[in-house]
Structure 1
Amino acid sequence: MPTRNPPRKAKKATTAKTRAKSATLDPETIQILLSVAGQVRALAYAPYSHYQVGAALLTANGEIFAGCNVENASFGMTQCAERIAIGKAISEGVRDFVAIAVITEDGGTPCGACRQIIHEFATARDITVVVADARGRYRVTSSDALLPGGFRLRDGE
């Protein structure tokens, strides 16, 4: 039985705050995030759609929180990988996010609900979003590009 995975520190954790200010990711950090997302994708519970998703969330302090999708027979109760990773970070008291990497078989982007959740926490900066397929091809975008004009109850919060 697998053990619980604690949050990880990115190899270049000392530069996490620099990356956070510039909102750009170096290729090594992207590869670390994709590796973590790929590993957790293999743990996805997707017996209905067979669409496995893995996500790795990088925080401003260099921690990485991972999540995979968990389907349910009542499909609307399915939990997305992105929301699980974000929920794990929040439950540990971390809310300052720099980037999230998402891996699917075909390189699909986060669903609308996940885009809104990512946007909710993009208050200090635009969050970098790395979207990859199972063969390792990826593209880099941002939370603002995925959800232009996203909803907030109060501007700037």
Structure 2
Amino acid sequence: MNELKVAAMSARENAYAPYSKFLVGAAILTPSGAVFSGCNVENVAYPQGTCAEAGAIAAMIAAGEREIAAAYVIAGSPTPVPPCGGCRQKLAEFAGADVPITMATTGGTEQTMRMDELLPGAFTADHMEPRS
């Protein structure tokens, strides 16, 4: 988990958040042992920004990986910040129910939840299966 923490902290330092000043870093580990990181990237047109988790997932996909074994998200806040709703769904696309998602503060506080705790009742590919 230390490798994920270091990768997320490093990515956070590169975040582009001139409007909110809220820097976020994320790192994901795949079953192969590869680590991918991302940071939030804001845009003056707020809905056009990108979350750190989405950036890490995009890097994982671009490298040809398709499964998350663990994730780590860090922000400079008083308490650990959970991924937004959209990022919870993005994580659930590639992470099984028991995958640990650790949320942390730059002050050292950490909270870990399983994917199914973070997004109970997730919309999954099973919902897309045709039924007669």
- With normalisation by structure 2, the TM-score equals 0.90
Q: Structure 1 counterpart of 2:87, which letter?
A: C
Task: Let me know the Cα RMSD of the aligned residues.
Answer: 1.6
> Which residue does 1:54 correspond to in 2?
25
Unaligned 5+ residue runs, structure 2?
Answer: none
Q: By how many angstroms is 1:126 displaced?
A: 2.6
Secondary structure, aligned partner of 1:154: helix
Unaligned 5+ residue runs, structure 1?
Answer: 1-29
Q: Which runs of 4+ in 1 moved over 6 A?
A: none
- 1:1-150 equivalence runs, <5 A: 30-106=1-77, 107-123=80-96, 126-150=98-122
- Percentage of identical aligned residues: 42
Number of equivalenced pairs? 127
Tell me, in whole angstroms, the C-alpha distance in 2 between the residues paired with 1:34 and 1:137. Answer: 12
User: Residues 27-72 of structure 1, C-alpha deviation per residue, up to 9 Å, x if partnerless?
Assistant: xxx2221111011101000001111000010000000001000000
Secondary structure, aligned partner of 2:92: helix
Q: Structure 1 counterpart of 2:10, which letter?
A: Q
Tell me, in whole angstroms, the C-alpha distance in 2 between the residues paired with 1:52 and 1:136. Answer: 15
Secondary structure, aligned partner of 2:122: coil
Tell me, in whole angstroms, the C-alpha distance in 2 between the residues paired with 1:39 and 1:75. Answer: 24
